[in-house]
Structure 1
Amino acid sequence: MYLTLSRIAGVVARLLALAGGALLLAIVVLTVVSITGRALFSAGICCGPIRGIYDYTEISVGAAIFAFLPWCQYMNSHAAVDLFKSAMPDVLNRFLNVLIDIGMLVLAALIAHRLWLGLLDKQRFGETTLIAQIPVWIGYAACMAGAVGFVVVAAFCVIRSGRGLIWKDARTEPLS
């Protein structure tokens, strides 16, 4: 059962990270096209920059950041201060890992909940971006995929660290 959960969490994290990377690559290409169009337009050759590129960039980068959070959690790659870790007993370190993972799960759930409420609020009031007039709730919806994935992966990480607390030799690092 644990290996199945680990594989599911790993696949969710990996797919979201790949989607976030693809999104960043797409926005880089659009930005290059827009800048090239602006330069060629000023030379009288082309049609100009992409209208609303700032809006597209803002939405895409936010969604990509949320898409990377599950992978970061799954790989235990969040920032950590390990100053006293080597001086503490192993059982205390494993207990702290459980507490940290529970804290990350609570934080992930809180972020997803607040993002959902923000999405509903933006949808209800019909707010749009300034230039391209994209409904703002679409950006929130794009971020929700990563936020929900973050909750799923964080829940698995609590199981993983709890398992590591009970069985010292249990596999507690992510499967790559």
Structure 2
Amino acid sequence: MTSPLPEDTSARSTDWRKRVEVPFVIAGAVLVFVLMGLSVADAFLRSVINSPIFGANDYAQIILSFIVAVSFPLCVLSGRLIAIDTLLRYFPGKLQVFLDWASSLLGVVMLAYLAWRAFFNALEAASFGETTLLLQLPYAPSYYAVALGCGLSAMVLLLERLAK
């Protein structure tokens, strides 16, 4: 036998995390650089030749919504969710475990609710034809992206909690 069971389980745990995390990191980096390039180009063109990019704010709104959608799962995967646990260490061990579970489940419920609301907002935006002001870019894909990001975050948070 080359390795004990806990290391094998850890390796499998890390493997699925990497398969989920890497595409989100790449997508997030690309989106942030596109937004940065758009902002710099718009400011440069506005300052130098007094001709800003038409609809740059519309593009920025849509790109930002996709950045937020990508950020939710990455926050969960990196353990960057906010939990205030300053008093937790003074509680008995069993109560600490219970409160840890309760906060994780509350996070799952909140993320699932956000996914549900974003999905129905996407349906409404699509049915009403809701668009940005200048370029008439549809809002529905942004809502769908946020719904997907929140839903995936809820699933990852639940899987991580169950794996502990």
% identical aligned pairs: 24
CA distance in 1, matches of 2:136, 2:45: 21
Deviation (angstroms), 1:127: 1.2
Partner residue in 2 for 1:11: 19
Deviation (angstroms), 1:10: 4.5
Cα distance per residue 1:103-124 (max 9 Å; x no partner): 1111111111111100010001
Could you say which structure has the greater relative contact order, defined with CA pairs below 8 angstroms and 6 or more residues apart?
Answer: 1
Structure 1 residue 73 and structure 2 residue 81: aligned? no
1:134 to 137, 140, 164: 137
Contact (CA 8 Å) 1:59, 1:139: kept in 2 or not? yes
The letter for the 2-side match of 1:142 is A
CA distance in 1, matches of 2:109, 2:149: 15
CA distance in 2, matches of 1:58, 1:158: 33
Partner residue in 1 for 2:160: 157
Query: How many aligned residue pairs are there?
Result: 156
CA distance in 2, matches of 1:154, 1:7: 16
Deviation (angstroms), 1:96: 1.5
Contact (CA 8 Å) 1:9, 1:152: kept in 2 or not? no
Cα distance per residue 1:39-82 (max 9 Å; x no partner): 2223xxxxx22111111111212221221111212232212222
Deviation (angstroms), 1:83: 1.9
Q: Which TM-score applies when normalising by structure 2? A: 0.83
Partner residue in 2 for 1:87: 90
CA distance in 2, matches of 1:19, 1:12: 12
Deviation (angstroms), 1:23: 0.8
The letter for the 1-side match of 2:65 is G
Partner residue in 2 for 1:35: 43
The letter for the 1-side match of 2:142 is G
Q: Which TM-score applies when normalising by structure 1? A: 0.78
Contact (CA 8 Å) 1:67, 1:147: kept in 2 or not? no
Give the secondary-structure state (helix, strand or coil) at the position aligned to 2:49: helix
Q: Which stretch shows the higher mean deviation, 83-92 or 115-124?
A: 83-92
Return 5+ residue gaps in structure 2 as ranges.
1-7
Stretches of 4+ aligned residues off by more than 3 angstroms: 1-7
Partner residue in 2 for 1:102: 105
